[in-house]
Amino acid sequence: MKEIFLDARNLEHPEPLEKAISILKHLNDKSYFYMLHRREPTPLLALASEHNLNFVSKLAQDNNWHIIISPKKDINLEQFIRLSDV
């Protein structure tokens, strides 16, 4: 699967959500969105849930959030999380 990555840790509101929405519009079953954020992006996760997207959100030990979203339902997104690489 192709990863589309966004490091939003240094972006100011509302830029992370705007960029994420733009990326989500172009996802397909062969891609997933990987986002790093300094806080859990609750509005983005609510949007993903409303659109029936598969997602996972994890807080790393460095207090950064790792979010993965994909339209593909039959995949375990946790396998793509890189908590120790960032």
Is residue 86, in this structure, part of any structural domain at all? no
Let me know the angle formed at the C-alpha of 51 by 40 and 43, rounded to the nearest 5 degrees.
25
Question: Helix 15-24 vs helix 42-50: angle between axes, to the nearest 10 degrees?
Answer: 20
Q: Which CATH number covers residue 67?
A: 3.30.110.40
Question: For the chain, what is the domain count?
Answer: 1
Task: With respect to residue 85, please indicate whether it lies within any of the assigned structural domains.
Answer: no
pLDDT at 85: 55
| Domain of residue 42, residue span | 2-80
- Tens of each residue's pLDDT in the chain, 86 residues: 999 999 999 999 999 999 999 999 999 999 999 999 999 999 999 999 999 999 999 999 999 999 999 999 999 999 999 886 55
